[in-house]
A and B are shown apart, each in its own frame.
Chain A
């Protein structure tokens, strides 16, 4: 029964939601919206669970004096500091402290991490972007054309390059992306069917 009951619930719910999509009736819509409420509630609980999990991992690290445990203190201070500053009696998310911590600590930190990509992309492009086969050459050529297209510095080239880049984006790129999207869609349908029919049971924890 430990497995049969969850399998039964998944089968009934999955089948109902699949059928509901094709029933244009007010009651069917109401049930659908009711189910969505559950999804949102679960999403909110997941957020709370994430915070709790983070706090537990960080406090354990501090208690055991694991490697770089000092960073966990900063992380916890950041978490609770922002929660306190964001609370109503401090003025909420529009308060001076919340806005300044956000603008002058969080924004530069995120931007710094993201901007480091430019350096690694340059290094990787130099070492790995080589025309060592026909397919690699096609990829390389397309990448160069797209990069030139986004480059206003090469003004006189812009007209023909723009047409070529638009063609690459609108035809080969779009065809490939559509094929991937359709493939993913079909894969999702297949996986959903496997879950509904009880063939895929890994979510039960094991076998």
Chain B
């Protein structure tokens, strides 16, 4: 965070908020367009000046990192892209961070999706992360793209006993019996860790209920912020940890960068997004405070 522009912008935002507070105390209504303008200005400033904050990983995120870190080389890691473009900004950085971490640890990656849009996003990860940052990894030996499969929870119910029944071939129509990664994989229960990423249905909750619990497979979901509190009851027994929203993704990116300096120069979208989100949160918090001050003042006046 640097530059005089940042300080001028922050001064304008907070100066504006104080002005609104004074106006509200005087009993004037705040037009919703003014609130929209503040949110826009706060996020635009952070994006323009690329404001970033230092992230310290919380225990719930650190648990996920440590588990993947402690797995022996060649462990089987399944990542499910159960989200669409609307959720992409929040959860896609998690998927890429898990992929980077898994490949740097030389684990075997299995990519699949229960959402039709997930396959295109998975392709993006393969093209932009795996092929660019890990040119040495080989398709079929180090990672495989299983693609999208219709059937929601039904798919999970089948793969927990038999992977081949649901996925006789990968996304390129290659028979999975001819893919070396499946030599010692019969079902999803053979995975060493599963990262279900998403926030809708079917999503991480279904993975916990239909695969994690019955198969006793360690689960670490990556979630959109709105659904993270719904998955908390499954922590710490059914999920070893979780990543909630941009914040969770930023914490993971931060710990990944500090552990592996080779990732210092690769994009960390969640860390970049934390700037706009943080300023927008401060604006929203300020409006809540202003709203309550005026509420109490009006009530005091009415009671007088």
Contacts and interface: CB of A to CB of B under 8 A. Distances in A.
B123 A150 contact: no
Interface string B136-152: 00000000000000111
Interface in A151-169: 151-153, 155, 158, 162, 166, 169
A17 to B, nearest CB: 12
B151 A170 contact: no
Contacts of B151: 39-40, 43-44
A103 B124 contact: yes
B36 A113 contact: no
A99 B127 CA distance: 11
Given A151-B282, A152-B274, A177 B290 contact: no
B154 interface: yes
A106 B83 CA distance: 13
A118 B280 contact: yes
Given A43-B152, A150-B281, A33 B161 contact: yes
A127 B86 CA distance: 27
Interface in A135-181: 140, 143-144, 147-148, 150-153, 155, 158, 162, 166, 169-170, 173-174, 177-178, 181
A107 B83 CA distance: 12
A36 B151 CA distance: 9
B85 A107 contact: yes
Contacts of B285: 144, 147-148
B292 A131 contact: yes
A140 B292 contact: yes
Contacts of B102: none
Nearest to A40: B151
Contacts of B86: 110-111, 113-114
Interface in B32-73: 32, 35-36, 38-40, 43, 53-56, 58-59
B284 interface: yes
A96 to B, nearest CB: 12
Contact of B233 (A44, A113, A177): A177
A63 interface: no
B278 interface: yes
Interface residues of A, number: 54
A122 B120 CA distance: 32
B290 A126 contact: yes
A144 B288 contact: yes
Given A47-B150, A99-B123, A127-B291, A122 B233 contact: no
B89 A111 contact: yes
Nearest to A46: B150
B240 interface: no
B119 interface: yes
A44 B232 contact: no
B88 A123 contact: no
A174 B232 contact: yes
Interface in B12-35: 30, 32, 35
Contacts of B119: 93
Contacts of B74: none
Nearest to B39: A122
A22 interface: no
Contact of B120 (A36, A102, A153, A174): A102
A94 B172 CA distance: 10
Contact of A111 (B88, B124, B279): B88
A152 B233 CA distance: 25
A125 B287 contact: yes
A132 interface: yes
Given A36-B158, A122-B36, 4 more contacts: A44-B151, A94-B123, A109-B85, A110-B85
5 tightest CB-CB pairs across the interface, nearest first? A40-B151, A110-B85, A152-B53, A110-B86, A126-B287
9 contacts: A40-B150, A98-B120, A103-B120, A106-B117, A107-B85, A111-B85, A119-B35, A126-B291, A166-B59
